[in-house]
Amino acid sequence: MLKQGILGLLNYGDMTGYEIKTIFQQSLNYFWTAQTSQIYRELQSLEKVGWVTSTHVTQKGKPDKKVFSITKDGKEELQRWLREDLQSSVLRIPLLMQTFFRGECSYEENLAFFRRIADNASSFPGGRELAVSAVNAYADQMGDPEKALFWKFTIEYGKMHDEMLKAWSEKCIKELEEQHECTSH
């Protein structure tokens, strides 16, 4: 899906790899992480299949830069992907796979595990405020509040996901403590 994320960003306008990486880190990174090397590798791949083109731009007093643009085929691929039924996606949640087998760990290890989840779920609010600021800044730049609304939807999902993780992990801690209390007497 990194390819589609890059196509989505380029659909908003031409960008250098550096600009894509920067916008990615300020927006998409909250729900889809990617290393700089992965982004540049995907740009090469997208160019090979004809979904993006690049233009070499010479700059006076600065290093040259490569500006990427989405092609007609790239826009068609983005639209195809946006219409794809995600229900067919394979569900993989490493957290739940690990939770399923936590019976192999000690009470103390399990408490620490769920406390880390609760703490991590609570540690994002400041980052979310930065994401809202970034969304508002990009919305102003683009002058397209309709598209920005969907960006805000992703922030709301992140907030609700964090709240759910915190509530779930706290419920797990409570049940672990209750079970430990019953079995230790």
Is residue 50 over pLDDT 90? yes
pTM of this structure: 0.74
pLDDT in tens, 74-111: 999 999 999 987 765 667 788 999 999 999 999 999 99
Any idea which fold 2-88 has?
Arc Repressor Mutant, subunit A (1.10.10)
Is residue 21 over pLDDT 60? yes
Under 8 Å CB-to-CB from 6, ≥6 apart: which residues? Answer: 20, 24, 39, 42, 43, 46, 52
pLDDT at residue 124, rounded to an integer: 58
- Domain assignments of the chain as residue spans, ordered by start: 2-88, 94-183
Listed range (35-49, 50-64, 90-104, 161-175) with the worst mean pLDDT: 90-104
First-last CA distance in the chain: 51
pLDDT-above-70 percentage for the chain: 92
